[in-house]
């Protein structure tokens, strides 16, 4: 498959008719997805070039096998292969920079194969390919008793619904592999069923049945305990009954749980507890440095309506105003206050809106550009929520975050001399993330807000903060309905 991808990519390069002003970059390694999840393919032009007026084609195996087609400024759904109709979405938020994402919903095994994307303009065209690898995680191993063999008990372990073909192992108390008889068969859907048997002796201890992907990226395990008391001198039938009851009760608690799951779960809870403790302490400390932040109306984009010098409302219609050097051409606004020393803290009510960023920016950032990565390299230190409902920051590249709970009120704590800016979830008093940088120059509080649907958005508000309070002061948006 990798050789096919290389050959097809070379053919696409040879077929390019343009002058070579730009080329297409795609996934540099196979995209791996589990059955039922969504796959996301990323393609972009290098160097950055607007693709709004271009034809963008995603295809499967062959150029004419259309997965998704964008042409003449809109999606051409009637050109898709039947297997992909209603399952694709082209994300064009950054198409002006030549970057698009294709989301393929609810991937199945039949989606496995070679994919490519192709950009065409009036004087150039170019494409690239990659491989989609689909896997299926099978059921938890079911351990059962087959009977007595050679003075021991024969155990049978079964699991079904795997792809690709898994490996099956028995492991002893010390974690070493035990010799066993195993077989793997494919069903009529192309999924693999695994089965393995093992004979254990008295006082065998902890025995586990492990089934995993060939690359060991996923593993499912069931564990049982074999003790000497089970092998008392009683009738074979009674021993079978007692062991069957013992294993049945034990398996109820352990089936489907793996060692990796326990470790992962423990790390997650420990991390969340640490975030909570860290957040409570830092929030208490940060509120000692609460400042009043007032928005600078003259810097606001015409679609951002400022009221009370603290409230940002988004409207589809632009206000009539004269552009000055202070005004941003992006949908953002900064505060009148600027900081270049000391510690400062403020809170922003973002509600349940999406596509927002809050934090600070340097006073000398370029305000005339319409698109810029909000990275420290460009003078921005922010936390945000994008259209895909992912919380992220830039450090300096985009970093996906996982808050303990979705924040509706965000605390921003700037320590200029220490070179840190921390983001806190005021709702549950938990710590989210800290950016570290050696600050230079004047920094201003920053809000960016893309209200995509005016009927389902609420204002974003800078809230009053009580330095001595453990909880945030009431904010005007606490009971607001979506902005009419």
Q: State the pLDDT at residue 268.
A: 47
Which two structure tokens, joined as six digits, stand for 448? Answer: 């960016």
- Give domain status of residue 407, yes or no: yes
User: Do 168 and 245 fall within a single domain?
Assistant: yes
| Whether pTM exceeds 0.75 | no
Q: State the pLDDT at residue 255.
A: 57
Average pLDDT over residues 218-223: 86
- Give domain status of residue 468, yes or no: no
Looking at per-residue pLDDT, the higher value among 353 and 44 belongs to 44
User: Do 307 and 250 fall within a single domain?
Assistant: no
Q: Please give the Cα distance from 185 to 199 (Å, whole number).
A: 22
Average pLDDT over residues 51-73: 94
Final residue belonging to a domain, choices 135, 154, 188: 135
Q: In what order do the strands lie in the sheet with 391-394?
A: 332-334, 443-449, 356-362, 380-385, 391-394, 398-401
- Give domain status of residue 189, yes or no: yes
User: Do 232 and 289 fall within a single domain?
Assistant: no
Q: State the pLDDT at residue 479.
A: 43
Q: Report the chain's mean pLDDT, rounded to a whole number.
A: 83
- Report the share of the chain in percent with pLDDT over 90: 49
User: Do 451 and 305 fall within a single domain?
Assistant: yes
Average pLDDT over residues 458-467: 86
Q: State the pLDDT at residue 85.
A: 94
Residue corresponding to tokens 């909880």: 471
**Distance set, CA 352 to CA 39, 222, 357, 387, 457 (Å):** 26, 41, 13, 12, 8
Using 50, 70 and 90 to split pLDDT, how confident is the model at 281?
A: confident
**Each residue of 153-172: pLDDT tens digit?**
888 999 998 988 899 989 88
Can you give the CATH number for the domain in which 228 is found? 2.60.40.10
Which range of 134-143, 239-248, 290-299 scores highest in mean pLDDT? It is 290-299
- Give domain status of residue 446, yes or no: yes
Which range of 9-18, 149-158, 307-316, 412-421 scores highest in mean pLDDT? It is 412-421
Q: State the pLDDT at residue 349.
A: 95
- Give domain status of residue 264, yes or no: no
User: Do 283 and 318 fall within a single domain?
Assistant: yes
User: Do 339 and 198 fall within a single domain?
Assistant: no
User: Do 429 and 373 fall within a single domain?
Assistant: yes
Using 50, 70 and 90 to split pLDDT, how confident is the model at 18?
A: very low
Q: State the pLDDT at residue 250.
A: 67
Q: Please give the Cα distance from 404 to 307 (Å, whole number).
A: 32
200 Cβ contact list (under 8 Å, min separation 6): 152, 153, 155, 207, 226
User: Do 247 and 295 fall within a single domain?
Assistant: no
User: Do 356 and 432 fall within a single domain?
Assistant: yes
Instruction: Count structural domains, the chain.
Output: 3
Q: Of 206, 449, 144, 170, which is closest to residue 313 (Cα–Cα)?
A: 449
User: Do 394 and 308 fall within a single domain?
Assistant: yes
User: Do 418 and 305 fall within a single domain?
Assistant: yes
Domain span holding position 150: 142-257
- Give domain status of residue 429, yes or no: yes
- Give domain status of residue 475, yes or no: no
Which range of 107-116, 239-248, 322-331, 399-408 scores highest in mean pLDDT? It is 107-116
Biggest CA pair distance of the chain: 96
- Give domain status of residue 471, yes or no: no
* pLDDT above 80 (res 7): no
Nearest-5° angle of CA 388, CA 352, CA 429? 105
Can you give the CATH number for the domain in which 447 is found? 2.60.120.920
Using 50, 70 and 90 to split pLDDT, how confident is the model at 235?
A: very low
User: Do 305 and 188 fall within a single domain?
Assistant: no
Q: State the pLDDT at residue 234.
A: 38
């Amino acid at each position: 498959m990798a050789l096919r991808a290389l050959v097809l990519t070379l053919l696409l390069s040879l077929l390019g008719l343009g002058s070579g002003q730009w080329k297409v970059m795609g996934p540099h390694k196979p995209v791996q997805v589990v059955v039922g999840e969504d796959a996301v393919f990323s393609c972009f032009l290098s160097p950055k070039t607007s693709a709004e007026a271009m034809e963008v084609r995603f295809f499967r195996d062959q150029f004419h096998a259309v997965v998704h087609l964008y042409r003449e400024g809109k999606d051409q759904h009637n050109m898709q292969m039947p297997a992909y109709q209603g399952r694709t979405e082209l994300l064009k938020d950054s198409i002006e920079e030549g970057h698009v994402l294709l989301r393929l919903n609810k991937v199945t095994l039949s989606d496995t194969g070679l994919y490519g994307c192709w950009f065409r303009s009036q004087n150039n065209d170019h494409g690239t390919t990659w491989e989609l690898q689909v896997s299926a995680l099978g059921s938890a191993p079911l351990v059962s008793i087959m009977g007595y063999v050679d003075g021991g008990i024969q155990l049978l372990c079964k699991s079904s619904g795997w792809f690709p073909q898994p490996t099956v192992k028995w492991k002893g108390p010390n974690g070493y592999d035990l010799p066993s008889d195993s077989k793997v068969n494919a069903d009529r859907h192309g999924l693999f069923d695994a089965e393995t048997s093992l004979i254990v002796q008295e006082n065998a201890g902890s025995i586990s049945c492990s089934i995993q992907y060939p690359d060991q990226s996923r593993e499912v395990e069931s564990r049982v305990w074999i003790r000497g008391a089970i092998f008392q001198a009683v009738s074979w039938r009674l021993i079978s009954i007692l062991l069957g009851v013992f294993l049945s009760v034990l398996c109820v608690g352990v089936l489907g749980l793996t060692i990796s799951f326990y470790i992962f779960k423990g790390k997650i809870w420990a991390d969340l507890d640490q975030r909570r403790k860290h957040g409570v302490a830092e929030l208490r400390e940060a509120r000692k440095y609460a400042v009043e932040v007032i928005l600078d109306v003259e810097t606001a984009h015409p679609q951002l309506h400022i009221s009370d010098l603290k409230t940002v409302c988004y409207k589809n219609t632009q206000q009539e105003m004269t552009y000055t050097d202070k005004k941003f051409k992006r949908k953002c606004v900064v505060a009148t206050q600027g900081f270049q020393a000391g510690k400062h803290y403020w809170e922003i009510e973002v509600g349940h809106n999406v596509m927002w960023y809050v934090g600070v920016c340097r006073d000398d950032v370029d305000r005339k550009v319409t698109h810029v990565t909000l990275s420290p390299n460009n003078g921005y230190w922010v936390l945000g929520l994008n259209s895909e409902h992912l919380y992220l920051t830039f450090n300096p590249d985009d970093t996906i975050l996982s808050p303990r709970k979705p924040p509706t009120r965000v605390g921003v704590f700037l320590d200029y001399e220490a070179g840190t800016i921390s983001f806190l979830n005021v709702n549950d008093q938990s710590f989210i993330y800290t950016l570290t940088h050696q600050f230079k120059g004047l920094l201003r509080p920053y809000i960016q807000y893309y209200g995509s649907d005016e009927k389902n958005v609420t204002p974003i508000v800078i809230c009053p903060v009580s330095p001595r309070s453990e909880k945030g002061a009431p904010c005007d948006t606490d009971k607001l309905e979506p902005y009419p």
